[in-house]
Amino acid sequence: MDNIVIFGAPGSGKGTYSAALVEHFGYAHISTGDVLRGEIKADTELGRIAKGYMDQGQLIPDELIIDMLANVYDSKKGSKGVIFDGFPRTIAQAEALKALLNSRGQDVTAMIELDVPEEELMDRLLKRGQLSGRADDNEETIKKRLVVYNEQT
């Protein structure tokens, strides 16, 4: 099974490229952002914890993300491949993903980085916020998210 990681700053187009790969190759898609927003919408304990971090523009603690992704990954068994959209973001997360995959006899097949100028990212995210109503797509939070991304990814 192929395991492809797509990474880039918030607003770089990870979801758009993931969707194209899913459609073209028939891969499963794991978006940490979508999974987290689903947990928030369902008002689960993980969702409430995650919301606090996301509202501050911070990354969710690794152990929460890794446990969540292990469950989601296991539900994709039998897929032709999996696209990891937005994960890993840190060295610790990359090591955890490698360990997770290795424990299942798998490895990362490819990594794709989307590199977009920050001015373009800001424009995209502000427009997305206006269209989608996402609370974390406001100028102050976007700036924090980009700083965190640049420092930790």
Which active-site residues does the annotation give? 14, 89, 128, 134, 145
Helix %, strand %, coil % of the chain (to 5): 55, 15, 30
Phi, psi of 69, deg, nearest 5: -70, -35
Handedness of CA 42, 48, 18, 109 (dihedral sign): negative
DSSP β-bridge partners for residue 6: 85, 112
Q: Encoding tokens for residue 31?
A: 């978006």
End-to-end CA distance of the chain: 26
Give the distance between the most distant pair of CA atoms in the chain: 43
